[in-house]
């Protein structure tokens, strides 16, 4: 791998300066590393670490005078980069993924929204997500999934909002459907599902008490499931 690093200017890492360990509230201080310590922990050279930093693959370090301090988040990112490289991703591709990943909504933002009442979220590392969709985790697909709200970020981890949607999406990809097409279909399904939800909510609110909406929710789901099943029967019987 060509590293193409340039000599650093400005603040330098001082290997003789002790790590900052101050914790004013009595809680354990977060682990911090000088550049050489972080490189050793990640199993890479200092030159490679500088190259990753210059490429924007890791966040900037915390500066204390002329000393740069890194933490466990940087170490986790370096391990993710190594795992993605092992899975065949290029550095350019990883840089694009990082940009898309960091532009996505964070879990704290999403926590302000009502949680899905029947869906189980799944916490994944970036490399685990790559394993679910081998060769399909591109910056474009990641951005689309983030825009749809399928994925949210939590530090160096990713949360998929629905195990069912994750499993179905992965199964479709294994069957040969490109992930980009799965996500496009997901966006269209979302539009139709929102319209159906609005229809049933309006119907029930017009004719039942507000407190009954949750209890009657399964009826709406049953109607949609039955109609979808019959629609699939009709379409699958059609000659291509």
Q: What is the CATH number of domain 100-178?
A: 3.30.56
- Grouping H, G, I as helix, E, B as strand and the rest as coil, residue 63 is strand
Q: What is the pTM of this model?
A: 0.63
Q: Average model confidence (pLDDT) for the chain?
A: 80
Instruction: Identify the pLDDT of residue 104.
Output: 55
pLDDT at 7 over 50: no
pLDDT band at 197 (very low <50, low <70, confident <90, very high): very high
pLDDT above 70: percentage of residues in the chain: 78
Exposed, middle or buried: residue 172 (CB in 10 Å: 0-12, 13-18, 19+)? middle
Least confident range from 101-110, 158-167, 192-201: namely 101-110
Least confident range from 21-30, 120-129, 147-156, 186-195: namely 21-30
The predicted-structure confidence for 44-103, as pLDDT tens digits, reads as follows: 999 999 998 888 888 889 998 888 999 887 887 888 788 778 777 788 877 777 776 666
Q: H or E element: which one contains 153? A: strand 151-154
pLDDT at 9 over 50: no
Mean pLDDT for the stretch of residues 170-188: 95
Least confident range from 103-117, 127-141, 210-224: namely 103-117
- The residue extents of the domains of the chain are 32-86, 100-178, 185-237
Non-local CB neighbours of 96 within 8 Å, separated by 6+ positions:
138, 139
Mean pLDDT for the stretch of residues 36-46: 91
The predicted-structure confidence for 213-234, as pLDDT tens digits, reads as follows: 888 989 999 999 999 999 999 9
- CATH value of 32-86 in 3.90.180.10, 3.30.420.40, 1.10.260.30, 1.10.1660.10: 1.10.1660.10
The CA distances from residue 130 to 54, 95, 190, in Å, are: 24, 15, 24
């Amino acid at each position: 791998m060509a590293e193409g690093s340039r000599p650093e200017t400005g603040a330098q890492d001082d290997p003789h300066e002790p790590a900052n360990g101050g914790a004013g509230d009595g809680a354990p201080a977060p682990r911090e590393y000088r550049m050489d310590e972080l490189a050793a922990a990640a199993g890479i050279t200092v030159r490679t670490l500088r190259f990753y930093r210059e490429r924007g693959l890791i966040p900037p370090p915390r500066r204390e005078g002329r000393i740069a301090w890194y933490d466990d988040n940087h170490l986790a990112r370096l391990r993710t980069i190594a795992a993605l490289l092992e899975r065949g991703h290029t550095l350019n591709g990883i840089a694009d993924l990082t940009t898309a990943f960091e532009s996505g909504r964070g879990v704290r933002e999403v926590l302000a929204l009502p949680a899905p009442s029947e869906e189980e979220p799944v916490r994944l590392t970036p490399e685990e997500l790559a394993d679910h969709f081998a060769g399909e985790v591109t910056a474009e697909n990641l951005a689309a999934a983030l825009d749809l709200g399928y994925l949210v970020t939590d530090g160096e981890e990713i949360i998929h909002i629905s195990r069912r949607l994750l499993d179905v999406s992965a199964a479709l990809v294994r069957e040969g459907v490109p992930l980009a097409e799965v996500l496009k279909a997901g966006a269209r399904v979302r539009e139709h599902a929102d319209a159906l939800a609005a229809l049933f909510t309006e119907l029930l609110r017009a004719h039942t008490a507000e407190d009954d909406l949750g209890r009657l929710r399964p009826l709406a789901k049953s109607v949609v499931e039955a109609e979808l099943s019959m629609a699939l029967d009709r379409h699958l019987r059609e000659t291509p």
